[in-house]
Structure 1
Amino acid sequence: MTSFIPVSSLHQQASHWFDRARAAVLDELPCRRGCSRCCIGTFAITVLDMDELARGMATLPALVRADIVRRAKEQVVMMQAGFEHLTTSPFLDAWSEHKQDDLAAVFAELPCPALDGDGTCGVYAFRPGRMMGIPVSTNDSIEGACEVQIAVPILRVPAALREEEDCLAEREAMELAALQNRLPISGEEVLLAYGFLGDLIRR
């Protein structure tokens, strides 16, 4: 896969943020390599995530890489059969939230193409969604990020880390805008399976 985006520390900063946020809740979260609940079901990733996946795929042996690409293509075929808009464009930017929720519900049990049979990730160091898993805070309550977290103590993440989370989101938006100014791409978000097929999208 060809990488079009200069190496950025955004993903590394996201990983560092997650590690500190997990430490702030006394490392009581199950989220770590081998926990694959967030890897089941399709979701949207950005073209920045797609480029990071391309870097990860390039580190894999050819046969392993080919197997992941095969699974990704099979998933794309299934999703296109049920949602014809994907045959016109892989980008989700014009999709309504309701429509994206419908697709996510249909493919709620679809594993990530890079997920191994034992639940480990073949491109873990390059994975998207690396800030997922931290408990969600509201004014009155704290909720676990998924059903796996029901049995663990849930503590509130410090406000300073939440502010840093917002800053990372702002930086991501800036990098996406800069990317669209440099490259002839027609959107920012694609479904996870497309993230392993970057060359097909950029043709």
Structure 2
Amino acid sequence: MSVYHEGLIRLTGQADLWFQRARASLSGAIPCGKGCHCCCIGPFAITRLDVDRLQEALPRLPAEERRTIHEAAARQVAAMERAFPALRQSPSLDQWDDRAIDSLVAQFGSLPCPALHPDGSCKVYKARPLTCRLMGIPVDEDGLVRSACEVQTSVPLVRLTPSFRREEHRLAELEATLLSVRKVESDAPSQQGEEVMLPYGFLDQQ
């Protein structure tokens, strides 16, 4: 197994453990559960690490389920590329400014994740992106705590301890390191970039 794939497994495991511990520390302040899918509506940026996980998982799905996901992703990508022609040249978001990304996200905010099951569950749960794995923990920015999702407006917000936030920062550092390792080990073109919008992760990679 390559250094990159070993690191990817380690990152996934550490992220899952961090979320479990962080959730436990918040004593029931996280109402998320199976079938709750508010955070599965609307596109967001994922990294090439997430794309690699998805690409490994998709072939293991039943053919019909895989086809449904691919068709949904293809429809979403086509709509995005009509609205934002720059995506036709490259799906990479690395050179996009925050305003452009926010505009895309707002315009397509009603689109469900291509892997969202009608019952609200995730068809690729074990391979879901890192953002999904950490979703639900209240966001702490500039000293202010806010809900990670509209579902959380019905429960009190609780701030994570500084030690948990430091661990979260270390996860981000490990993610950045693995993206660098991937560039070295992968034969992907250098212009591929590190981030793409979610539906691109479900399409065949060139």
Q: What's the TM-score once normalised by structure 2's chain length?
A: 0.90
Distance of 2:89 and 2:151 partners within structure 1: 37
Matched-pair identity in %: 46
Distance 1:89 1:154, change over 3 A: same
- Give the alignment of 1:76-87 within 5 angstroms: 76-87=77-88
Q: What letter matches 2:83 in structure 1?
A: G
Gaps of at least 5 residues in structure 1 are none
Over 3 Å counting, the alpha-carbon distance change for 1:12 and 1:32 in structure 2 is farther
Q: Secondary structure at the match of 2:110?
A: coil
Alpha-carbon distance between aligned partners in 2 of 1:26 and 1:59, rounded to the nearest angstrom: 36
Q: Which residue of the partner structure matches residue 6 of structure 1?
A: 5
- Contact 1:33/1:124 (CA < 8 Å) preserved in 2? no
In the aligned structure 1, how far is the partner of 2:60 from the partner of 2:179? Answer: 24
Of the candidates 139, 159, 163, which is equivalent to residue 156 of structure 1?
Answer: 159
Give 3-state SS (helix, strand or coil) of 1:6's partner.
helix
Pair 1:192-2:198 in alignment = yes
Secondary structure of residue in 2 paired with 1:81: helix
Separation of aligned partners in 2, 1:176 and 1:23? 30
Alpha carbons of structure 1 residues 27 and 67: separation in structure 2 relative to 1, 3 Å: same
Distance 1:96 1:181, change over 3 A: same
Say if 2:29 and 2:158, in contact at 8 Å, map to a contact too.
no
Distance 1:142 1:6 in 2: 34
* Structure 1 match to 2:42: 41
CA contact (8 A) 2:76 2:199 kept: yes
Q: 2:50 and 2:60 mapped to 1: Cα distance?
A: 16
Deviations 1:137-161 (A, max 9, x none): 3565422112110111221111111
Indicate if the aligned counterparts of 1:45 and 1:191 stay in contact, CA closer than 8 A.
yes
Runs of 5+ unmatched residues, structure 2:
none
Paired residue total: 196
Correspondences of 1:107-118 after superposition (within 5 Å): 107-118=108-119
Q: Return 103-112 or 144-153, whichever deviates more.
A: 144-153
Q: Which has the higher helix share?
A: 2
| Equivalent position of 1:120 in the other structure | 121
